[in-house]
Amino acid sequence: MTTTHPSLSRPTATHPVISARALTKTFGTVRALDGLDLTIGHGEVHGFLGPNGAGKSTTIRVLLGLLRPDSGTVQMFRRDPWKDAVELHRRLAYVPGDVEIWPHLTGGEVIDMFLRLRGNYSARRRNALIDRFELDPRKKARTYSKGNRQKVALIAALAADVDLLLLDEPTAGLDPLMEAVFQEVIREKKEDGTSVLLSSHILSQVEALSDRVSIIRAGRIVESGSLTDLRHMTRTTVEVETAQPADAIAQLDGVHSFRTEAGRTVFDVDGDRVSQVMSALAPLGVRSLIAHPPTLEQLLMRHYGDAPAARH
Amino acid sequence: MSLTTHPPRRGSPLTAAGTLVRFLLRVDRIRALVWVLGIGAMGFYFAHAVQVVASDDAALAELAGLYADPVGRMMVGPGFGMDDPTYERFYAAGYAFVLYIFLALMSVFTMIRHTRADEQAGRAELMRANVVGRHATLTSAFVVTMLMVLAASVLIAGGALSAGFAWEGSLLIAVTGTAVGFFFAGAAAVSAQLSESARGASAMAGGLIGLAYLVRMAGDAPEVGGTALSWASPLGWAQQTAPYVDDLWWPVLLLAGGGLVLSALGFWLSTRRDVGAGILPARLGRAEARPALGTPLGLAARSLWGTLRGWGIALVLAALMFGAYAQTMMDAADSLPAEIADVFAGEDIMLGYLAYIALFMGVFALAAGVSSIQQIRGEEAHHRAEYGLSAPMSRTTWLGAHLTVVVVGVLVILAGVGAAMGLGAAMVLENDGGAYVGDLFLAAFLQAPAVLCVVGVVTALFGWLPRAAAPVGWVIVGFTGLMSTFGGLLDPPEFVLDLDPFHHLADFPVEPIAWEPIAWLTAIGAAGIVVGLLGWQRREIGRI
């Protein structure tokens, strides 16, 4: 790519692929983006988590140069997505959240059209992906189910030789087997150094793929960092069986919800207190110990309140 | 559920059909009303317009000649009673078939909408998951369709009776109309089982209407009253009832019987397949795109091709038929009194008529252009523009490619219309028919500047006020249509006439070509396109 577009600098570790600062965007009375910051480094798979209506798609449309933010700055590969859309789009591929494709074209035709428009057509990559996603490329798009339309858009994006993938809930209509194929392909892309913005509300997917995660709520990033960072800020659940009574643990800093269940002691501990608590446990004679790291679900619950409401 | 207090009832195949009928009527209340009132109003208009168009017997006899000659019979039907025309006979011979065709179309669209279209959208699955009998959906679609057909037929009878036509013939037309509706509802019940897509199912049943019309055309053209071939078409059966002439009732039984057989077949086929599946396998397309599709122009052409092709075929066929009237117009001139014939030679009347047809076709070509731009807007509204623009293709390229297809498409349609009109005239004219081909081609093609002018205006709106583009476009189409047809009759103030871009063009070949309006109309069109592209470049995409 560098040879064909010398004007575009190759992303380096020092220049983020995407950098958005204080973006706002209002539709009528609805504030879709409310001071959003987002940074994605080179070669990073970035999970973009949030419920429907939080502003994920609006952010991606701004990144594509389809919408203009009311205020704030946004750069991709150090360029303005609104002004330099064509040059930028040579380096990225997009999978829309609600895939609408031309009803009278076949899946194969849509895939080829996008690959040829990008100008780096590889029949080998294309056919391999069609096989892996088990798509019948001869069917007219109007007869495809939502899942199959999504496969078409995914193959068109993943078969392209690009530096950045913008994926807006890319697997919402796929079955678990295809979800596994998707994760496999994304891992391969990551090894090739492709950056990925993966918007999703499927926690396991983000957990399995992302280096870093940003949680968006009401147009604002409420939490951002590596999974390790985020876990650090939350609590680990510990179930322990000890030779001597463990009641003293309840008095330690950072220990919550201390209780005894069927002869076992169960409590939650703050991420930054784990080592102190472990030191205190050791002298009590630990017979068995299970520790659950916090799941993303718990992370989300912290920001969205009750669990079911967060899972749209 | 009350399973504990009542033993579960054994469901019949029609369980919940009544509820579904009420539901469909509610869902469709506006659409059904528009269809029924539209057809009713059309019937009323036809019945009364006849008496306005031909104010005395001499005029009527002359008009009846149109439907008695082979080309006329080909277009409208067997022409019963045109040797001794009355208003009611003229209405039955010339217009009843239009009502039949609209009833058939209403039947097909309503049936498919409530059967295959619901299935394709997944709504049928939702329904069938409830306590709904196996035949309930198809039955309720039938009931709703037939209620609409009956209501429209009652209005048709009312329209004919209000014009003072004989009651038996009027009733016969209404009953025949109901039977036609029933026949094609049955055809749609079958096609809905065969095809997996609603479009395919509509095309199949609609194609049967077209085929019935073509067979009838070939059957009716050779002889007054039709030939054996006329009896091979369901529309032929409808017309062989000869209302107000012979008042034959028994051909209606053919339609009703055919409808019964088809609906029974539909119900039977529906038990032979799964919900969502079709009896016929879905047709597969190309696994790989042709290279041309990978260009902005290729994408635009594939997106708009269907719309433009549909308009193109319809208009070219219409132009061929109108052209084929040339000799009839020539002959009509011969019957004019000598002093008028001195002023208007037969040739002038014929060319005047064809110049008017060219104008009329120009308005329809404009409609094709507006509906294409509406489709470009649809590409945006359905997020396909957004998806397409995620490829390295600028907005200007995207819209420019689509507009190129629209403009070229409209020009090709006009050229095709001109060629077809010339060909039609050349086929029928006894003396030197070929001499007019070039002039008639130009007559149609020279409507292009007016079409381009409006396309430019609508494009400018698309760039800056996208929501207004299609509505304003259709208002302009309606206005130019009204001015072209009734402009002379209504006698509006000059400035109103001036608003009609077609009004500024010369009536070639009756008048010589006027280049000045051609130049400035084209300039307005080009300016509008540039303004539209500028707006599109700076506005946000997908803001509906």
Tokens 């002039």 belong to residue: B439
Hey, what's the torsion of the CAs at B67, B72, B74, B77, to 10 degrees? -20
Angstrom distance (rounded) from CA A291 to CA B507: 90
Q: Do B285 and A140 touch (CB under 8 A)?
A: yes
Query: ipTM for the complex?
Result: 0.81
How much is the pTM? 0.78
Report yes or no: A141 and A103 within 8 Å, Cβ to Cβ. yes
Q: Do B302 and A102 touch (CB under 8 A)?
A: yes
State the burial class of residue A267 (Cβ atoms within 10 Å of its Cβ: 0-12, 13-18, 19+): buried
Tokens 């009846």 belong to residue: B64
Tokens of residue B169, six digits:
């013939």
The DSSP output letter for A261 is E
Angstrom distance (rounded) from CA B341 to CA A290: 109
Nearest CA in chain A to B289: A109
Angstrom distance (rounded) from CA B346 to CA B330: 5
- The tens-digit pLDDT sequence of chain B (544 residues) is 444 445 555 667 777 788 888 888 898 888 999 999 999 999 999 898 888 877 788 888 888 887 887 777 877 889 898 888 999 999 999 899 999 999 999 999 999 999 988 887 777 777 777 777 888 889 999 999 999 999 999 999 999 999 999 999 999 999 999 999 999 999 999 999 998 888 888 888 988 998 898 889 888 888 888 888 899 999 999 999 999 999 999 999 999 999 999 999 999 998 888 777 787 777 788 888 888 888 999 999 999 998 899 899 989 998 998 888 887 777 766 666 665 555 555 677 788 888 888 998 999 999 999 999 999 999 998 899 999 999 999 999 999 999 999 999 999 999 999 999 999 999 888 877 778 889 999 999 999 999 999 999 999 999 999 999 999 999 999 899 888 877 766 678 888 889 999 999 988 888 889 999 999 999 999 999 999 999 999 998 877 5
3-state secondary structure of A100: coil
Residue of B197, B295, B376, B387 for testing the chain A interface, max A β-carbons within 10 Å: B387
Residue of B288, B390, B395, B399 for testing the chain A interface, max A β-carbons within 10 Å: B390
Tokens of residue A211, six digits:
């280096």
The number of angstroms, rounded, from the C-alpha of B33 to the middle of its chain's C-alpha atoms is 19
CA-closest candidate to residue B71, choices B329, B244, B313: B329
CA-closest candidate to residue B140, choices B260, B31, B20, B32: B20
Which residue from B197, B284, B387 is facing A138, i.e. has the nearest CB? B284
Which residue from A106, A116, A142 is facing B294, i.e. has the nearest CB? A116
- Interchain contact B288–A (C-beta under 8 A): yes
- Interchain contact B383–A (C-beta under 8 A): yes
Q: Do A117 and B391 touch (CB under 8 A)?
A: yes
DSSP B113-182: HHTHHHHHTTHHHHHHTSS--TTHHHHHHHHHHHHHHHHHHHHHHHHHHHTT--HHHHHHHHHHHHHHHH
Angstrom distance (rounded) from CA A19 to CA A13: 13
3-state secondary structure of A246: coil
Are β-strands A195-200 and A164-168 bridged in parallel, bridged antiparallel, or unpaired?
A: parallel
Q: Do A113 and B283 touch (CB under 8 A)?
A: no
**Terminal Cα distance for chain B, rounded:** 44
Which residue from B284, B384, B392 is facing A117, i.e. has the nearest CB? B392
Residue of A26, A83, A86 for testing the chain B interface, max B β-carbons within 10 Å: A86
CA of B304, closest CA in chain A: separation in Å? 11
Question: How many residues make up chain B in this entry?
Answer: 544
- Interchain contact B1–A (C-beta under 8 A): no
Q: List, in order, residues 6 or more apart from B382 with CB less than 8 Å away.
A: A100
Angstrom distance (rounded) from CA B527 to CA A123: 43
Contacts of B199 in chain A (CB under 8 A): 142
